[in-house]
Structure 1
Amino acid sequence: MVNKMYKVTHEKSENHGSKHNQVLMSIVVCMPILAYGTAMGWISPNKALLMGDSSPSNGPLSEEDVSWMASIMFIFAPIAVFIYGVAADKFGRKNALLFASVPISLGWAVKLISANPIALIGARALIGFGSGGAFVVCPLYVKEISEDSIRGMTGTFVIFSQTVGNLLVFILGDLLPFHTVLWILLAIPLIHFCILLRLPETPSYLIKCGKNEETAKVLGWLRSVPHTDKAISDEVDKLIIEQTTCEPKFSPKLLFADKTALKAFWVALIVNLTREFCGCIAVLVYASHIFAEAGKDPDTSIALSPNKQSILLAVVQIFGSFLACQLVDRVGRKPLLAVTSAAAGVSLCALGAWFYARGAAGAAGAAGWLPIAALCTCIFADASGLQPLPFVIMTEMFSFQLRGTVATLIMAISLGTDFALLKLFAPLNSWIGYHSTFWIFSFICLANVFYLIFCVPETKMRSLEDIYADLEGKKRKKKENVVETNHV
């Protein structure tokens, strides 16, 4: 049946191809996430300016204004998740991703036109809307163009792009004037839009549209082998079989009707929510403010301004993301995620203890280097495991049919959680203190280690059947033991 649907003259090529095109395309595809990273980190180097006497606005912004600027992105992002999730299945991954760059560009343009608090909040709402769409479509796009052997590495590009954006905006904000930075940040989504126009749709979506010949050509280009190569025709046949057995559409009802897939959904959701509740996003957005609080006493603080300490934090984040790219396909998703979750938990616990000691005994007993060391360790662990790996696991635990639905639901919930976390971070610190806030984050990270060990299956280079067998393994073993006992 498959051979009748798609025929090609096979050429057994000795050229084993290359993965360069897949890697380069994955980097370009993730540029809207880089734009999101710049938007998320933009407040940190600009907060003092916006709230000061020389504010580019008509007057200094209030703490409430800044709080809304930090969190508004995550009100509109969950709405965009559903819209772009449906659009990705209906109009294609490429078209959905093209239109993710439009509101992001408009957001930066509004900031250039006006620095009024309402304009800034509205601009960040537009950026949040586009970013929410990108967070759904980018992991799907990258997964569907990547070979199994590198899908873990390319999957980490989503968060790696975000960390590059954080570092870029921290450096630019420290070195360049306010409006110059905005022009540079506006260029990123515009460049992405122009480049993506010339890139192909994903093979999986082309098969869905019945474009088998075009699929073969795209796969040949991605794998750097002739499109008539036997390996390409085999991959096309595999995609055809996948498409004939499952039509992709946004259908929560279909997800909830499959007990094993639903169990996988809860696993993926909990792993993703732990990523949000580890507190790293709040640390990045309020990095300069946290360092300013930690360095109030000049005798105990290190000789770096809060902005430069934030830059150091972003550099550490880049190294962590790079390490994730190198290790994820070597050591596996589960071990790397467990180790980084434990490291983040210990560092946040130490940071909470530092704030507690400073409050109890004063600055005299508090080592000035500890806050930045703890935060750097936390951010390194976050970037090398806690942030990128949940995206990889999320795309590997579901079929092509359910992948869009799951990504849409999980990202909507996660981004809504980000809004609540960022909106409550400052009031929570005022209510229970920095030390208690960081201890809560620490507890969540350490509890996640046990959940990973006992409840999350390894997904590296494994089929859905094997992953789902792990999810149902305990029940199956019990049934087998009962049967053997009855036979005896």
Structure 2
Amino acid sequence: MEREQLKLQTEDVYEKKENNKNTKRQFCGAIFMSLLAFSYGCTCGWTSSAIVILQSNDTPLITGPINSEQAGWIGSSIGIGGFVANFFFGWLSERVGRKVSLYCVVIPQILSWIFIYTARTPIYLIIARILGGTAGGGMLAIVPTFIAEIADDHVRGILGSLVILFCNTGLFFAYVCGGFFDYYTNPWMMLPFPIAFIILFLKFPDSPISLMKRKRYDEAEESIIFYKSMRTYSKQTKQLLEDEIQKLQSDDDNAEKPSLESIYKSRASRKAILIGIGLMALNQYTGGFALITFTSSIFKESGSNLSLTASSIIVAVIQIFGALTATFLVEKAGRKLMMSVSSFGMMTGLGVLATYSLFKSQGVDLSNYNIVPLLSFSFMIFVGNLGVLTLPFMIVNEIAPAKIRGLASTICMSFCWFFVFTAVNYFPSLMDSLGMHGAVYIFAFNSLIGGLFVLLCIPETKGKSAEEIMRIMEK
């Protein structure tokens, strides 16, 4: 009797191992898609060293060195492309599917590097940055959704965090290339990554949900089998497959098309949108992205005793470390605590950097404190990645009611891209008119306001179910 029970248990364990929802293909798919996030990170980081070159006498432009206004447009026009792409690729992915839309994202990404290489006037670079922003906006509109739709519950958080991690790694790569290679070599260093995505992702199908929405049920079934590495002849697998398809069909049948009217009528929806817009403003007007865009210029102005290349690379490494730390702490410390610490921490780092710059502009001898700009900037980037620069997008998806989650994300991301454009566009002009210390003090003040906003308005969502969060939002 015991021998038969042991045999049955052994067979059951073996069958579970054989039919276990293997996540290998899910990891591979997420990594391959994140190559587009890496490429977008390169787009964001390219300006750091390029702006310094473009403003010097060694500029490759036939029109001569660019001024602060042109530098602002080159840096900020990424927001124009992102704003447009947020709507276009969201619509396109629902019409032709996630995979085809991602392949369309590659086109503006490749064109942007070609325009940068062939640029002879600032308008070429502005067009290149709009194309790069279009690719970035498309990537952010599709990749997180695609990953969420193919990932098992126990790996969804890890796979979802790859997007930010690859963005930061791409930023680091751009800083390294900008420091060690010439202007014309840099675009060729960035081009292989979107091309690699095209090749590596060829055999990966569209997500099951995307296929189901377009009534392609047979392909949806094949997609489930592929991403879960199922063996179709197993009884257990067949039952699992039927459950997955039934769930997808039920979600599709019960899906309610969101509208602005549905948002207006729901208190929870209104609060979620307003809080989301506030979080997007906090994400950009604390200066994180603007400072990253002009990292080398900031260190040049601050008089740091380290080379611009070394300073930028150190900052990029710290940014990656901050994003990884946030990934491990967010479920333990909670969103509200991490956002608060991040906001007030950014205020402190920015305040120190602004004060150092103020003293330097007044002729105070700071030769013994040249390390301060790097330390304060690095601290600001690290604490920023603990919350302000990474968590707002997650929080929006958690506090928004399920039926308007997609629309809420689109609205908030649209505001985010607008804030990107304004923050980056006006930063060089603010530095010219107020000095670097004045511009950075404004960011520090915004961080203070943002921290108070988090304490007073943001609900804690850690460990709470969707129903519990909605009850809080309805109050």
Q: TM-score range by the shorter chain?
A: 0.7 to 0.9
Q: How many percent of aligned residue pairs carry the same amino acid?
A: 27
Q: Does 1:339 align with 2:341?
A: yes
Q: Does 1:269 align with 2:277?
A: yes
Using the TM superposition, give the Cα deviation of residue 84 of structure 1 relative to its aligned residue in structure 2, in angstroms. 1.2
CA distance in 2, matches of 1:398, 1:194: 36
Q: What is the letter of the counterpart of residue 423 of structure 2?
A: L
Q: What is the letter of the counterpart of residue 106 of structure 2?
A: S
Using the TM superposition, give the Cα deviation of residue 163 of structure 1 relative to its aligned residue in structure 2, in angstroms. 1.0
Match of 1:396 in 2: 398
Displaced runs of 4 or more, over 6 A: none
Shifted more, 140-149 versus 126-135: the winner is: 140-149
Match of 2:248 in 1: 239
Using the TM superposition, give the Cα deviation of residue 159 of structure 1 relative to its aligned residue in structure 2, in angstroms. 2.1
- Contact preservation (8 Å) 2:175, 2:312: yes
| Deviation digits for residues 387-418 of structure 1 (CA, Å, limit 9, x no counterpart) | 22222223334466433322222111111111
Using the TM superposition, give the Cα deviation of residue 340 of structure 1 relative to its aligned residue in structure 2, in angstroms. 2.3
- Contact preservation (8 Å) 1:93, 1:137: yes
Match of 2:53 in 1: 49
Match of 2:449 in 1: 447
- Contact preservation (8 Å) 1:349, 1:442: yes
Using the TM superposition, give the Cα deviation of residue 319 of structure 1 relative to its aligned residue in structure 2, in angstroms. 1.2
Choose from 143, 146, 156 the match for 2:148.
143
Matches within 5 A, 1:7-406: 13-15=15-17, 16-63=20-67, 64-212=69-217, 214-226=219-231, 228=237, 230-247=239-256, 251-295=259-303, 301-302=304-305, 304-360=306-362, 362-364=364-366, 367-398=369-400, 401-406=403-408
- Secondary structure, counterpart of 1:374 in structure 2: helix
CA distance in 1, matches of 2:28, 2:309: 32
CA distance in 2, matches of 1:397, 1:290: 36
Shifted more, 207-216 versus 41-50: the winner is: 207-216
Q: What is the letter of the counterpart of residue 285 of structure 2?
A: F
Using the TM superposition, give the Cα deviation of residue 449 of structure 1 relative to its aligned residue in structure 2, in angstroms. 3.1
- Contact preservation (8 Å) 1:37, 1:162: yes
Unpaired runs of at least 5, structure 1: 1-10, 296-300, 476-488
Alignment CA distance shift 1:93-1:463 (3 Å): farther
CA distance in 1, matches of 2:61, 2:281: 36
| Deviation digits for residues 312-362 of structure 1 (CA, Å, limit 9, x no counterpart) | 111111111222233334444333333222322221122222223333462
- Contact preservation (8 Å) 2:35, 2:193: yes
Q: How well do the aligned residues superpose, as a CA RMSD in angstroms?
A: 2.6
Using the TM superposition, give the Cα deviation of residue 77 of structure 1 relative to its aligned residue in structure 2, in angstroms. 1.9
Alignment CA distance shift 1:280-1:184 (3 Å): same
- Contact preservation (8 Å) 2:351, 2:441: yes
Alignment CA distance shift 1:22-1:255 (3 Å): farther
Choose from 413, 417, 429 the match for 2:431.
429
CA distance in 2, matches of 1:152, 1:451: 26
Using the TM superposition, give the Cα deviation of residue 247 of structure 1 relative to its aligned residue in structure 2, in angstroms. 4.4
Shifted more, 460-469 versus 122-131: the winner is: 460-469
Using the TM superposition, give the Cα deviation of residue 368 of structure 1 relative to its aligned residue in structure 2, in angstroms. 1.3
Using the TM superposition, give the Cα deviation of residue 285 of structure 1 relative to its aligned residue in structure 2, in angstroms. 1.0
- Secondary structure, counterpart of 1:307 in structure 2: helix
TM-score by length of 1: 0.85
Using the TM superposition, give the Cα deviation of residue 291 of structure 1 relative to its aligned residue in structure 2, in angstroms. 0.6
Alignment CA distance shift 1:23-1:398 (3 Å): farther
Alignment CA distance shift 1:90-1:461 (3 Å): farther
Q: What is the letter of the counterpart of residue 62 of structure 2?
A: N
- Contact preservation (8 Å) 2:72, 2:429: no
- Contact preservation (8 Å) 2:276, 2:392: yes
Q: What is the letter of the counterpart of residue 44 of structure 1?
A: S
- Secondary structure, counterpart of 1:100 in structure 2: helix
CA distance in 2, matches of 1:294, 1:29: 38
Shifted more, 36-45 versus 140-149: the winner is: 140-149
Alignment CA distance shift 1:119-1:336 (3 Å): same
- Secondary structure, counterpart of 1:53 in structure 2: coil
Q: What is the letter of the counterpart of residue 31 of structure 1?
A: L
CA distance in 2, matches of 1:439, 1:388: 22
Shifted more, 208-217 versus 189-198: the winner is: 208-217
Shifted more, 418-427 versus 379-388: the winner is: 379-388
Q: What is the letter of the counterpart of residue 183 of structure 2?
A: F
Q: What is the letter of the counterpart of residue 186 of structure 2?
A: V
Match of 1:478 in 2: none
| Deviation digits for residues 59-81 of structure 1 (CA, Å, limit 9, x no counterpart) | 52321332221111212321221
CA distance in 2, matches of 1:27, 1:315: 20
TM-score by length of 2: 0.87
CA distance in 2, matches of 1:281, 1:176: 23
Match of 2:8 in 1: none
- Contact preservation (8 Å) 2:401, 2:470: no
Choose from 414, 417, 420 the match for 1:418.
420
CA distance in 1, matches of 2:35, 2:70: 28
CA distance in 1, matches of 2:157, 2:468: 17
- Secondary structure, counterpart of 2:191 in structure 1: helix
CA distance in 1, matches of 2:367, 2:61: 41
Shifted more, 403-412 versus 169-178: the winner is: 403-412
Using the TM superposition, give the Cα deviation of residue 93 of structure 1 relative to its aligned residue in structure 2, in angstroms. 2.0
Q: What is the letter of the counterpart of residue 145 of structure 2?
A: L
Using the TM superposition, give the Cα deviation of residue 365 of structure 1 relative to its aligned residue in structure 2, in angstroms. 8.1
- Contact preservation (8 Å) 2:269, 2:401: no
Shifted more, 355-364 versus 382-391: the winner is: 355-364
| Deviation digits for residues 173-198 of structure 1 (CA, Å, limit 9, x no counterpart) | 11123222211212222222333332
- Contact preservation (8 Å) 2:147, 2:160: yes
Provide the aligned length of Structure 1 versus Structure 2: 456
